[in-house]
Structure 1
Amino acid sequence: MFFEGYGYHGNSFEQSYRCYPASFIDKPQLEAGDKIIMPPSALDRLASLHIDYPMLFHLSNDATNRVSHCGVLEFIAEEGMIYMPYWMMENLLLQEGDIIHVKNVTLPKGTYVKLQPHTKDFLDISNPKAILETTLRNFSCLTTGDSIMVAYNNKKYYIDIVETKPSSAVSIIETDCEVDFAPPLDYKEPERQQTPVPAASKLGAQVQETETESEDAQIFTPFTGAARRLDGKAPKDESPIVVSPANNGKSKSINSMKQAIPSTSRSNSSRQTMGKLVFGSNSNPASRGAQKAAATNETKEEPPKKEEPKFQAFTGKKYSLKG
C-alpha cells in the first residue's frame, strides 16, 4: 500500500488521500449527509475485491487519533484526493490538504441511537423528529462521538452522537432504529425559588398565638369560689378550694364538683348547729327535733292575740219602712 502512483495492494481497500471540503467542487449537497467523493481508481479496486454493498469506509486522522465512518457518493475526484463534508473535517480535526487514511469496513445495522443537540433551538422546531428523519436519510452510518449537522430553514443545527448500539459505529441504511434524545448542552434546569413568607402573615400568626394563650388563661373554672353563709356570718373550719388546672374543661368541672361536695356538707352541719333554718338541707332527725322544739318555745313565749269578731249575715237590727 502506498500513495505515490496510486497503487493498491492486499485483499482489502486501504489508501491515504489528501482531503478537501465539498465547496471545492461545487457540491453543496454533500453537507447534508456523510458521503464522500473518491477518485475513479478507488472504484476499480473496490470492484475487484467484491466487497459488500453499501460501501462503507473507516476514516482516521493519524495525527490526532480521530476516527469516523462514512459512505461514498461518486468516484469523480482527482487521483490522490477526496472531497468530504466540512462538518466531517471538523470532527476529524482536518485542514484543507491534510492526509486522511481510508479503509473499507462492514458495520452492523443500528438498533439504538442517542442524540444530544448543542442548543435548545433545535427543540423549538415545530416537528424536530420529522426533520431529523429526513436528514438521516442522507446518512449511511453513525459513529459515537461525532457531531452531525442538520440544516433547516437556512439554519444549521449540530447534534452529538452520544451512544450507538450494538457497536460504537452502526449502519442506518434500511433499518429500524430507536432514537432517544438527551437534554441540550445549553439546557439548565430552572432553579427552585423559595417563596418568602410575608411579614404580614408572620405578624398574623403571632397575634393568633397570643389570642390563643389569652383564651387559655381566661377559661372559666367552676366551683373555685369561697363558701358563703345565708346568715352573713363567716364559715367555720372552711378551707379554700384549690382546683388543679387540667387540659380538658370537663375534667376541671368534675374535679371541682368532687371537692365542692364535702365542703357543702360541712357548711350544712355548721348551719344546723347554729339553730338557723337551711333551705334544701338533708338534716338528720335529731337536728329536725331540735328545730321543732325551738319553734314550740317561740310559740309559747308570744302573747295570745284577741280574735276580732267575724262578720255574720242577718245579725243586725231590723227597721220598719213606716219609721
Structure 2
Amino acid sequence: MQFYAGYGYHASNFEQTYRCYPASFFDKPHLEGGDKVIMPPSALDRLASLHIEYPMLFELHNGVTDRISHCGVLEFVAEEGMIIMPYWMMQNMLLQEGDIVRVKNATLPKGTYVKLQPHTTDFLDISNPKAILEKTLRNFSCLTTGDSIMVAYNNKQYYIDIVEAKPASAVSIIETDCEVDFAPPLDYKEPEKPQRPIVPAGKAPAEDQEAIVEDEPKFKPFTGSGKRLDGKGPKQPAPGASSATAAARSAPSDSNKRANQQTASPSGASTSTRQKTGKLVFGSSASSKKEAEAQKEPAKGSEPPKKEEPKFNAFTGKSYSLKR
C-alpha cells in the first residue's frame, strides 16, 4: 500500500491533507445541495481501523487563510490524494482548485439552536421558506458559525449565513430537534418614516386649528342679563353664587305661587286695574287675608265699616298694600 505525503497516524485520530476540487469537475452536481465530501478509499481503511463513531464528521482547515469549517462524508471513491467538495464550501474557506486542505475527524455536539440570516429579501418571498429550508438541511450533517450555506430552489440559489449556533460554534444536526431563528436579510432596509411638512410660523397646522376650534366656549344656560319691573338695574350676584342662583331659578318660590293664585282670582284682577299710584308698604299674606275677610263682614260696633281701598297685587311673588 502506498502512502502519500501528509498522511498521518495519530493514536485514535484521523488527519490527512488533500488537494481539493469542486464537484463540477467530476460530474457530481448533487454535492452542491449539502455539506458532504467525497474522499479516497484509503481514508475509509484508516477510519475503519480507528473505530471512528458514526456519523463521521470532519474538520476542514485552510492553513493559508486560517479558515475552518466542518463537513460530513458521502462516498470514498475519489482518487488518492484528492478530495471533492461542494463549490460553496470552497468559497467559504477561500480555496481554489488544487489548493491544500487539511482534513481531521471531529466530534460535534447536537445542535439545539441555530440563527440564520438570508443574504437577500427575495428568500422570504418564497411561498413556504421554512419547508424549503427543512428539506435542504436534510442533506447537511453539521453547521458552523460564520459559514454561508446555499439553498437551491426553483432554478435559483439563495445564500444564508450561519449567524449563531448552540451549544457550540459548530453543531451536528443529524437526528436532533433544533430551533431555527431568522435574522433580517442583509439587504433589508427599514421603511422610512414619513416626514411632517414644515409649516411657517405664521400658519398653524390643521391639527392645531382643529384644537383651536374645539377650545371655543360652548353654550352655557342662565348667563343672560336680567331686568327688573321697576326699571332699576339688576343686582350683581356674589362670586360663587351662580350655582345657587341657577337652582333657585329652576324651582318656583312660594311667593310666586301665591302671586299666581291671587292673579287668577277675578276680584284681584279688577282691583289691580283700578289701583292708583302710591307708596309701597311690605305686608304679610296673613294680614291681607284678614283684611279681605273684614271687607266681607261688617263690624259689630255702632261705627259704620270703613271702605277699604282695593289692594295692589304685584307680580313679583309677594303681597303689597297701598296706604295713603
TM range (shorter): 0.5 to 0.7
1:129-278 pair list within 5 angstroms: 129-193=130-194, 202-210=208-216, 212=217, 215=219, 220-221=223-224, 225=227, 228=230, 241-244=235-238, 250-253=243-246, 276=278, 278=280
C-alpha distance after superposition, 1:2-33 (max 9, x if no partner): x9535422222112222221111121111101
CA distance in 2, matches of 1:206, 1:100: 77
Distance change (3 Å), C-alpha of 1:281 and 1:57:
same
CA distance in 2, matches of 1:97, 1:173: 30
Given that 2:32 and 2:86 are in contact with CA atoms closer than 8 Å, whether structure 1 keeps it comes out as yes
Amino acid at match of 1:24: F
CA distance in 2, matches of 1:253, 1:280: 26
CA distance in 1, matches of 2:81, 2:281: 134
TM-score scaled by length of structure 2: 0.67
1:56-71 pair list within 5 angstroms: 56-71=57-72
Q: Does 1:9 align with 2:9?
A: yes
Distance change (3 Å), C-alpha of 1:113 and 1:200:
closer
Distance change (3 Å), C-alpha of 1:245 and 1:20:
farther
Moved more, 102-111 or 25-34: 102-111
CA distance in 2, matches of 1:110, 1:283: 104
Amino acid at match of 2:236: V
CA distance in 2, matches of 1:254, 1:221: 15
C-alpha distance after superposition, 1:233-267 (max 9, x if no partner): xx8xxx96222465x9534546999xxxxxxxxxx
Between the aligned residues of both structures, percent identity stands at 64
Provide the residue aligned with 1:22 in structure 2.
Answer: 23
C-alpha distance after superposition, 1:158-177 (max 9, x if no partner): 11222222222122222232
CA distance in 1, matches of 2:5, 2:307: 161
Amino acid at match of 1:143: T
TM-score scaled by length of structure 1: 0.67
Given that 1:35 and 1:140 are in contact with CA atoms closer than 8 Å, whether structure 2 keeps it comes out as yes
C-alpha distance after superposition, 1:48-67 (max 9, x if no partner): 21211221100112222221
Provide the residue aligned with 2:100 in structure 1.
Answer: 99
Amino acid at match of 2:89: M
Higher helix content, 1 or 2:
1
C-alpha distance after superposition, 1:295-317 (max 9, x if no partner): x6999xxxxxxxxxxxxxxxxxx
The RMSD of aligned alpha carbons is 4.0
CA distance in 2, matches of 1:38, 1:126: 37
Instruction: Give the aligned length.
Output: 265
Given that 1:6 and 1:80 are in contact with CA atoms closer than 8 Å, whether structure 2 keeps it comes out as no
Q: Choose 1 or 2 for highest CA Rg.
A: 1
Amino acid at match of 1:242: Q
Give the superposition deviation at 1:37: 1.6
Moved more, 156-165 or 144-153: 156-165
1:26-37 pair list within 5 angstroms: 26-37=27-38
Distance change (3 Å), C-alpha of 1:7 and 1:66:
closer
Give the superposition deviation at 1:205: 4.3
In structure 1, the residue corresponding to 2:236 is in which secondary structure? coil
Distance change (3 Å), C-alpha of 1:19 and 1:298:
closer
Moved more, 50-59 or 174-183: 174-183
Amino acid at match of 1:158: Y
C-alpha distance after superposition, 1:184-226 (max 9, x if no partner): 223334445478899666545434534x26x46x96256x546
Where does the alignment leave 5 or more consecutive residues of structure 2 unmatched?
A: 251-276, 296-305, 310-324
Amino acid at match of 1:243: P
2:284 to 260, 282, 285: 282
In structure 2, the residue corresponding to 1:156 is in which secondary structure? strand
